[in-house]
């Protein structure tokens, strides 16, 4: 029943890209109005931006829940729709700290969408990550072929194929597909923009850039987040490529095929290693990276506390819970050297 309802949302996916730019424009207007002390106008623009953001997530429900078959991303998208509308309501009601989160969303988009929408940037990032993943795969003793493929038409649809086989999830003629020999038909694993880590890096870059704090601490926060995300993402790609390509996670096949609606039993390894193992580990890693960031840049806790309030309806004092120096946590650049403080800010 639920699958049938979600499948009926496929029409909404076509609106996601134009909506993304509209959302960014609305958040940009909000940030400009707030920066020029036109707070009430900024509030109206911010509410509109959050409503549009909720609609944007609605258009992605089918993609994540049905096309990607991702439990974590599918649930996250479903939650994001009412959560975005609720943030708009809270902003309208006077929770002005949400202007920081609004600014962060804008800056996240500024980092992410050029790589998503500008072909030359997307190809550079995807192929760079693919080449680095290939080196790491070879170090663990696996040697898949790295190919580009060719365009062809099948049943009236333009697709990309290799050696007569259609390469799933491949939409561009990039050198970004690993081919693993497996009996009569090969297994393809393609690095796409979602496999580059740019989404997670954009989240942290946006959060760090959005808060008011000394530049030195912002740079330290970037240093403990972006390189770590990039490195962990490469490890994730290797784990998925080898685990799927060499069929190392063919676990509970009947259950997995039934739950995820699979027709090819070889996809079981992919679902287990990517959608279950890797995505679960990613959540744990992002929590750990967030902790490292707030140790360097406690101002980010304002956003984290707001998000917790949206989810739970309760106020939290994470500064006290994490035993952070109050002056540093409030972003005071004049804190001197002393216990729990830094003298180089």
What's the average model confidence in pLDDT over 46-50? 97
What's the average model confidence in pLDDT over 271-295? 93
Q: Is the pLDDT of residue 331 over 50?
A: no
Task: For 85-96, write each residue's pLDDT tens digit.
Answer: 999 999 999 999
CA 160 to chain centre: 26
Task: For 318-330, write each residue's pLDDT tens digit.
Answer: 887 777 655 554 4
Which two structure tokens, joined as six digits, stand for 307? Answer: 């998000």
342 catalytic? Reply is no
Task: For 171-201, write each residue's pLDDT tens digit.
Answer: 899 999 999 987 778 999 999 999 999 999 9
In which band, very low, low, confident or very high, does the pLDDT at 4 lie, cut at 50, 70 and 90?
low
pLDDT the model gives residue 225:
96
pLDDT the model gives residue 344:
40
In which band, very low, low, confident or very high, does the pLDDT at 219 lie, cut at 50, 70 and 90?
very high
Give the integer Cα–Cα distance in Å for 264 and 252.
14
Q: Are 261 and 203 in contact (CB under 8 A)?
A: no
pLDDT the model gives residue 341:
29
Residue in 69, 236, 275, 319 annotated catalytic: 236
Give the integer Cα–Cα distance in Å for 116 and 187.
26
Which two structure tokens, joined as six digits, stand for 132? Answer: 């680095």
Q: Is the pLDDT of residue 239 over 90?
A: yes
Cβ–Cβ contacts within 10 Å for residue 172, how many? Answer: 17
Q: Which residues pair with 151 in a beta bridge?
A: 160
Mean pLDDT score of the chain:
88
For the chain, give the secondary structure using H, E and C.
CHHHHHHCCHHHHHHHHHHHHHHHHHHHHHHHHHHCCCHHHHHHHHHHHHHHHHHHHHHCHHHHHHHCCCHHHHHHHHHHHHHHHHHHHHHHCCCCCHHHHHHHHHHHHHHHHHHHHCHHHHHHHHHHHHHHHHHHHHHCCCCCEEECCEEEEECCEEEEEECCEECCCCCCCCCCEEEECCCCCCEEEECCHHHCCHHHHHHHHHHHHHCCCCHHHHHHHHHCCHHHHHHHHHHHHHHHHHHHHCCCCCCCHHHHHHHHCCCCCCHHHHHHHHHHHHHHHHHHHHHHHHHHHHHHCHHHHHHHHHHHHHHHCCCCCHHHHCCCCHHHHCCCCCCCCCCCCCCCC
pLDDT the model gives residue 10:
77
Residue in 195, 217, 275, 319 annotated catalytic: 195
In which band, very low, low, confident or very high, does the pLDDT at 335 lie, cut at 50, 70 and 90?
very low
pLDDT the model gives residue 117:
87
Q: Which residues pair with 189 in a beta bridge?
A: 178
pLDDT the model gives residue 6:
63
Q: Is the pLDDT of residue 340 over 50?
A: no
Q: Is the pLDDT of residue 287 over 90?
A: yes
pTM score, whole prediction:
0.85
195 catalytic? Reply is yes
pLDDT the model gives residue 319:
80
Residue-range domain boundaries for the chain: 1-96
In which band, very low, low, confident or very high, does the pLDDT at 203 lie, cut at 50, 70 and 90?
very high
Of 12-16, 32-36, 77-81, the least confident: 12-16
Give the integer Cα–Cα distance in Å for 80 and 91.
16
What's the average model confidence in pLDDT over 144-151? 93
Pairing between β-strand 150-154 and β-strand 157-162 as defined by DSSP bridges: antiparallel
For 33-37, the CB contacts below 8 A with 24+ separation are: 34/99, 34/102, 34/103
Cβ–Cβ contacts within 10 Å for residue 166, how many? Answer: 14
pLDDT the model gives residue 260:
87
């Amino acid at each position: 029943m639920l699958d049938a309802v979600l499948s009926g949302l496929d029409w909404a996916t076509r609106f996601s890209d134009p909506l993304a730019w509209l959302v960014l424009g609305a958040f940009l207007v909000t940030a400009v109005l707030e920066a020029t002390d036109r707070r009430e106008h900024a509030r109206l623009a911010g509410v509109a931006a959050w409503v549009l953001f909720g609609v944007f997530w609605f258009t992605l429900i089918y993609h994540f829940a049905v096309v990607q078959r991702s439990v974590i991303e599918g649930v996250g998208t479903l939650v994001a729709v009412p959560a975005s509308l609720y943030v708009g309501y809270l902003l309208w009601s006077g929770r002005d700290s949400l202007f920081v989160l609004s600014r962060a969303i804008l800056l996240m988009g500024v980092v992410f969408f050029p790589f998503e929408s500008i072909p030359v940037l997307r190809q550079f990032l995807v192929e760079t990550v693919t080449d680095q993943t290939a080196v790491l795969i070879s170090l663990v003793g696996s040697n898949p072929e790295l190919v580009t493929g060719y365009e062809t038409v099948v049943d009236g649809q333009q697709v990309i194929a290799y050696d007569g086989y259609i390469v799933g999830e491949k939409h561009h003629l990039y050198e970004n597909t690993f081919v693993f020999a497996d009996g009569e038909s090969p297994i393809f694993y393609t690095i796409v923009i979602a496999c580059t880590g740019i989404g997670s890096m954009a989240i942290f870059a946006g959060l760090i850039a959005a808060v008011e704090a000394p530049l030195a601490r912002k740079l330290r926060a970037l240093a403990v987040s972006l390189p770590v995300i990039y490195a962990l993402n490469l490890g994730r790609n290797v784990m998925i490529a080898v685990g799927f390509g060499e069929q190392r996670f063919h676990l509970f096949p009947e259950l997995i095929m039934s739950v995820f609606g699979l027709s090819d039993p070889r996809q079981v390894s992919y679902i287990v290693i990517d959608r279950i193992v890797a995505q679960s580990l990613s959540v744990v890693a992002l929590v750990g990276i967030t902790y490292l960031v707030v140790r360097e840049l406690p101002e980010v806790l304002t956003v984290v506390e707001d998000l917790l309030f949206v989810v739970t309806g309760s106020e939290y004092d994470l500064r006290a819970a994490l035993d952070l120096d109050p002056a540093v946590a409030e972003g005071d650049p004049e804190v001197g050297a002393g216990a729990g403080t830094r003298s180089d800010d």
